[in-house]
């Protein structure tokens, strides 16, 4: 498998939950039950940095900037 780089597409299934503020573990967004995965291009600034970084495992990605 080729490493991902800026401009490559990533497709993800995700669940976002709160980690502080007394609501730890509360789900605030998810696409796990949806028909299609969420698709975006790496390094284009169209998603939050955490989503881009989480989608790009260190051993699978070339260096790029979110």
State residue 65's pLDDT score: 43
State residue 33's pLDDT score: 93
Residue 20 in domain: yes
Residue 28 lies in domain:
9-54
Q: DSSP characters for 5-59?
A: -TT-EEEE--EEE--STT-TT-EEEE-TTSSS-EEEETTSS-S-HHHHHHTS-TT
Residue 4 in domain: no
**Domains in the chain: how many in total?**
1
State residue 64's pLDDT score: 45
Q: SS3 for 65? A: coil
Question: pLDDT by residue (tens digit) across 1-20?
Answer: 666 777 888 888 888 889 88
Residue 26 in domain: yes
Residue 30 in domain: yes
Give yes or no for residue 59 having a pLDDT over 90: no
Task: Please answer whether residues 9 and 39 qualify as being in contact, where contact means their C-beta atoms are separated by less than 8 angstroms.
Answer: yes
Rounded to an integer, the average pLDDT of 20-49 is 88
């Amino acid at each position: 498998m080729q490493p991902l780089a800026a401009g490559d597409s990533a497709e993800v299934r995700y669940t976002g939950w709160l980690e502080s503020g007394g609501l730890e573990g509360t789900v605030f967004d998810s696409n796990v039950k949806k028909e299609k995965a969420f698709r975006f291009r790496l390094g284009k600034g169209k998603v939050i940095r955490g989503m881009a970084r989480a989608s790009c495992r260190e051993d699978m990605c070339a260096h790029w900037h979110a």
